[in-house]
Amino acid sequence: MKLSSTLPARPDARTAVVVLEFEDQQLAGYEKALAALGVDLGALRAEKLIVGKKHKVSATLVKSGWFVVAVGLGPRKDFTAEGARQALGLAGKTLLKQERTRAAFLAHPLTKGPFTLAEAGQAVVEGLLLGQHQFDKFRTVEKPERRPLQELVVSGLDGDGATGFRRGFDRGLIVVDSVRQVRDWTSRPNNDLHSEVYAREAVAFLKKAGVKAQVLGRKALTDLGAGAFLAVNQGSSHEAQMVVARHDGGKKGDAPIVLVGKGICFDTGGYSLKLAAEMHRMTDDMAGSAAVIGAIAALARLKVKHNVIAIAGMTDNAIDATAYMPGDIVTSMSGRTIEIISTDAEGRMVLCDCLTYAGRFKPRFVVDVATLTGGCVVALGKTAMGLFSNDEDLCARLQKASEASGERAWRLPIYDEYYEKIKGELADLKNAGDRYASACTAAAFLETFAHDQKWAHLDIAGTCWFGEEAPYVPKGSTGTATRLLVRFVEDAAGNG
């Protein structure tokens, strides 16, 4: 999508004018500027076609011939970059339905929020393009012909304002590219994206972004002693794959930020079988790995000046005669032994070895991302991901990035009592406690393998997939945590 500042001289079939309105304030000069374009804002208000109510959307052809998409922003005091992202996401969906490939709007409302014009430019792009994104690879008979946006025209900015908006626009395009790839990977079924295909595609995607990557297969993982990871892979016909990617954006020798992702391409639950009614959705159990791959690719393309490593552990959790079973005892890469209580607690088995491997890089911070527990979904629903950490500074940084990106994260505790629940009876640890505080005991298990690292865990089980549309999210995969991680690393590098 290209950006320009010259509004079209007359109405045409591909252009829509996007009008943004606050619920409680009419902006000086906005009505006059729209009138000069040929849009009578007063008439739209009189006809109740725009009322300013948050997320209220209308689309109409006005007398001058312009097609107008009007979106309410709600009260001005509540207006944020996320509010702009949501409003433009709704506009983008409407434009797609109306087959309008050019959006034109006046920037007046975007100058009234508590955010920079660079942040506004990024929010606009993310809202418009992510709002239009759809996964339709496997549709044939009813596959819609989509005409997504090709051009954005923004008027009313000059000098530093226009430069800042352009900077945010360009940054947004890069982030959107990663989020769309994350959504597409997470949407694909295991027979189309098993671990070996996924690893190859991830390496190719990273290579295009200028990121170095290697793949450690079953032999390499065996040599490393990754017994927990390989236990999960025992029942699979596809090799376990650990993708290790690095962006050397900082100074040589500077401690990297390590991002670790769970990549279970399909999760049957193993012998601790999942309910049949819910199992088909388990193609999204690799969303954490997709997020860290998408994030490091975006960070490299943004030329962020910090060393970053991404580690993605990929396998499925299948059942056959060789699959691991409840009661088995395995030895992890760290040397700790683990008693298998539930084969459906497989994500933490993969992650614990990935976290041990992360320690060899002597990281500044380690953040793991995983669709880890149904308990987190029960606690926080689809509204926020769970955040756990052993370091106050790291936790505060992630919460700040959460607020800036609009990807909510809510901190949950890891009390001493939760460690007691994962103490083994026949081994050092057991891989699951009881059903109470399951998200917290799972985090306690992971923290055990973080050693002395400054570590955080994001449980995205609730936020990785939506059963219904949101303003800039389709029904299905959300691409969650990708934008949060990008913002977190940028802030840590000092250029967020």
Q: Which residues are catalytic?
A: 274, 348
The residue ranges of DSSP E strands in 257-306, in sequence order, are 257-267
Tokens representing 308 are 């970053």
Residues 6+ apart with CB under 8 A from 12: none
CA 63, CA 232: separation in Å to the nearest integer? 64
**How far apart are alpha carbons 389 and 100 in whole angstroms?**
45
From the list 77, 78, 84, 150, the residue with the least C-alpha distance to 117 is: 84
Helices (H) and strands (E) in the chain, counts: 16, 19
CA distance 200 to 206: 10
Question: Given the DSSP bridges, would you call strands 337-339 and 329-331 parallel, antiparallel or unpaired?
Answer: antiparallel
Query: For the chain, how long is the longest CA-to-CA vector?
Result: 78
Beta-carbon neighbour count of residue 439 at 10 Å?
25
Q: What is the 3-state secondary structure (H, E, C) of 392-440?
A: HHHHHHHHHHHHHHCCCEEECCCCHHHHHCCECCCCCEECCCCCCCHHH
Bridge partners for 260 per DSSP: 311, 368
- Closest Cα partner for 157 from 3, 10, 20, 54? 3
Residue that the structure tokens 């997020």 belong to: 291
